[in-house]
Amino acid sequence: MINTVLGPVKASELGTTLCHEHIMWNPRGAGNEADYDRDKILKKMLPYLLELKKLGCNTLVDGTPFGSGRDIKLLQECSRKSGLHILTCTGAWDGESSERYIPEKLKISTIEEIASIWTTEIEQGIAGTGVKPGFIKIALGDAGKVTELQHKLLRAAAQASNTTGLPLQCHMIPSKVVTEVVEILEDEQMPLSRLVWLHADTEKNYPLIIQLMNKGVWVEFDWTLSTATDFSWYVTKIKDLVSTNLIDKLLISQDAGIYIVGVNEDAFSIRPYSRVFKEFVPHCLEQGISQRTIDQIFIENPSIVLNSGFTS
């Protein structure tokens, strides 16, 4: 079973899935979680979610942890009104190393205490809502190193994953950070089959991608896909992964959407969730990638990685 914001569903019910998107982001950081108009955000984002549902997508995985804009009530309303399954997460976001998205409680807690906080959310639900996360989310290392706080959060995430079985989605971009993260997770004895390397298409370090796939890591292309004007790199790599029998470790999403709290609506535009199905998938089919491969990437692979947990 996989936990959604409206309750657990069978892995077979997920259907076509986008494994890493966002509905809302709060750049004000931890401590300002309620400083926005939820109804306004719902009104703005619902048309994009309805369009996604109309295109045949069944499940959206929202990668926004507490401290950066996770709002369970908003996610539940988005799910009810769009008909999409929506998953939320536990964890923490410190990609830019500012620490502003990290709640003070986590900053002063030990690795074991943080792991216990996240495990409690996974096993008992989030803040009295009864909603259980479907995965763990960590972001770190954009500056080229894993900081002391990020190191602590990463080990806590590994321990929470080891306790609950939930997969760990990890935002990591510089290759040297990816290598360091994998070493830390191996030291924690977390099976790499539960690690999802988000944004692997940023540096496009294909030798490292292949190396980690062979070690069991899930690799996700999502960073540049929603804005790319040329899909050729993606098409070439998908074909290569099919030929090397590694396509069963690939996920594709867009890191799109994102209502940014506090930003004038005229100053930014929502990146539609639909582009992958309106433009990318048709292009892949035109270039000789089979529907069977598309189904594996968007249906089978997500259901496997998201079903790695054993909580209900």
For the chain, 312 residues long, the average pLDDT of each consecutive 10-residue run is 96 97 94 84 96 98 96 98 98 96 96 98 95 98 96 98 97 97 98 97 96 98 89 97 98 95 73 95 98 98 86 38
Beta bridge partners of 260: 25
* Per-residue confidence (pLDDT) for residue 89, from 0 to 100: 98
Residue burial 68-103, b: 16+ Cβ < 10 Å; e: rest: bbbbbebbbbbbeebebbbbbbbbbbbbebebbbbb
How distant, in Å, are the alpha carbons of 60, 140, 245 from that of 66? 18, 15, 37
3-state helix, strand, coil in the chain (%, to 5): 45, 15, 40
Angle at 96 between CA 91 and CA 98, to 5 degrees: 85
CA distances from 28 to 103, 140, 174, 263, 312 (A): 12, 18, 25, 11, 33
Q: What is the pLDDT of residue 280?
A: 97
pLDDT at 183: 97
**What is the structure's pLDDT at 311?**
40
- What's the pTM? 0.96
Indicate left, alpha or beta for 121 from its phi (over 0: left) and psi (-120 to 50: alpha): alpha
Strands 7-9 and 2-4: antiparallel
Closest among 214, 206, 188, 167 to 61, alpha carbons compared = 167
Report the distance separating Cα 177 and Cα 141, nearest Å.
Answer: 6
> Based on the number of CB atoms within 10 Å of its own CB, is 11 exposed (0-12), middle (13-18) or buried (19 or more)?
middle
Cα angle for residues 90, 100, 260 (degrees, 5° grid): 75
Coil, helix or strand for 253? coil
Say which DSSP state 24 is in.
E
Which tokens belong to 106? 């986590």
The 3-class SS string of 171-184 reads: ECCCHHHHHHHHHH
Q: CA–CA separation, 145 vs 61, rounded Å? A: 27
Q: Which residues of 143-173 are buried (b: 16+ CB within 10 A; e: fewer)?
A: eeebeebbbbbbbbbbbbbbebebbbbbbbb
SS3 54: helix
Q: Distance (Å, rounded) from C-alpha 86 to C-alpha 273?
A: 13
The pLDDT score that the predictor gives to residue 309 is: 58
How many other CB atoms are there within 10 angstroms of residue 121's CB atom?
23
Position 267 scores a pLDDT of 60
